[in-house]
Amino acid sequence: MKFTLKVWRQKNTQSKGKFKTYQVDNVSEDMSLLEMMDTLNEELTKVREEPIHFDHDCREGICGACSMYINGRPHGPQKAATTCQIYMRNFKDGETITIEPWRAKPFPVIKDLIVDRSAFDRIIESSGYISVNTGGVPDANEIPIPKRKADEAFEAATCIGCGACVAACKNASAMLFVGAKVSQFALLPQGQAEKKARVEKMVAQMDQEGFGACSNTGACSAECPKEISLTTIARLNREYLAAKASSQEES
C-alpha cells in the first residue's frame, strides 16, 4: 500500500506551522498508523530531515498519549479506538491522509503533532482525588455499594484524559473529562466527604484554563475512545449546582 501524507509541522509554540506532504510506499496493511509514522521517520532521518514529533507511550490504547487528528477526526476513523489502534487497513490504497495536532487554545502545540495537555493535570491537582484519612483497608464486602453505581463509577474511571473530547467539541469544552473525574468519586461512598469542594474547585480550574462551555452536540462522547457517557456531564452539573446551593444556604 502507498499513501500521501499531509502532516502538520511546527517548530515550537511561537512558530507558525504548516502542512508538509510526504509519500510513503510499501506500507503493510497490518501496520498501525504510528508504525507507519515510525517508518516515515526512519526515511527522513536517512536524508537528514528532522523526524516528525508525535506523542506515544503504551501503544495499547491505554494511555491516550498518541492523540492527534486523522482526516479531521480525533484519533481517526475507527470508533472507540485511540490513534495507536488505527491500522492502515482502515484506509484505501493511494488515499491522502491528513494528520494534525489537537486544535484547542488550552492545548498549545509544543512541536509538530505534540500538544501541551498539562491543563488536564492542573484540573486533577485542584481537587480530583480523595485526601481524607480513611484508616486501614477495609474488607471488600464491608462497604456495600450497589452494582449499578459501582459499574457507573468504573466506566467513568476508564477516562484516559487523552483530550479527544476537547478536540471534538466546537467550544473546546472539557466537560466530559471533568464529568468523568467527578463521577468516579461522586458515585462511591469514599468520595462523599469532599464532594462539594471537589466539584467547585475542578470546575473553577477548568474555567481558568480557558476551556469553553458545553456545546450540547454530543461530539465529545461520540469521539471518546473509551465511550464515556454524556450522563457524566449531567452528573457534573447536578453536583455543581448542589454544591453552590449548599454554599448559599451556609452563607
Q: What is the mean pLDDT of residues 126-145?
A: 80
Q: Where are the beta strands (DSSP E) in the chain?
A: 3-9, 18-24, 69-70, 73-74, 96-100, 109-111, 114-115
Average pLDDT over residues 193-221: 97
Residues in contact with 220: Cβ distance below 8 Å, sequence separation at least 6, in sequence order: 164, 165, 166, 168, 169, 173, 175, 176, 228, 230
Residue percentage of the chain with pLDDT more than 70: 98
What is the Rg, in whole angstroms, of the alpha carbon atoms belonging to the chain? 21
Question: How many residues are present in the chain?
Answer: 251
Give the pLDDT band of residue 140 (cuts 50, 70, 90). low
* DSSP-derived secondary structure letter, 87: B
- The confidence score (pLDDT) of residue 177 equals 98
Whether the pLDDT of residue 136 is over 80: the answer is no
**What percent of the chain clears pLDDT 90, i.e. is strictly above it?**
90
| pLDDT tens string 171-187 | 999 999 999 999 999 99
Residues 52 and 40 sit within 8 Å (Cβ to Cβ): yes
In three-state secondary structure terms, 120 is helix
Q: What are 131's three cell numbers?
A: 485526601
In angstroms, the CA 156 to CA 153 distance is 5
Crossing angle (nearest 10°) for helices 195-209 and 231-250: 110
pLDDT of residue 60: 95
Split at pLDDT 50, 70, 90, the class of 251 is: low
From the number of C-beta atoms within 10 Å of its C-beta (0-12, 13-18, 19+), residue 146 rates as exposed
Asked if pLDDT for residue 221 goes beyond 90, the answer is yes
Residue 80, pLDDT > 90, answer yes
- Tens digit of pLDDT for each residue in 26-39? 999 999 999 999 99
Stretch among 128-142, 187-201, 224-238 having the lowest mean pLDDT: 128-142
> Is the pLDDT at 137 greater than 80, yes or no?
no
Could you give all domains of the chain from N- to C-terminal order, each with its CATH number? 3-110 (3.10.20.30), 117-250 (1.10.1060.10)
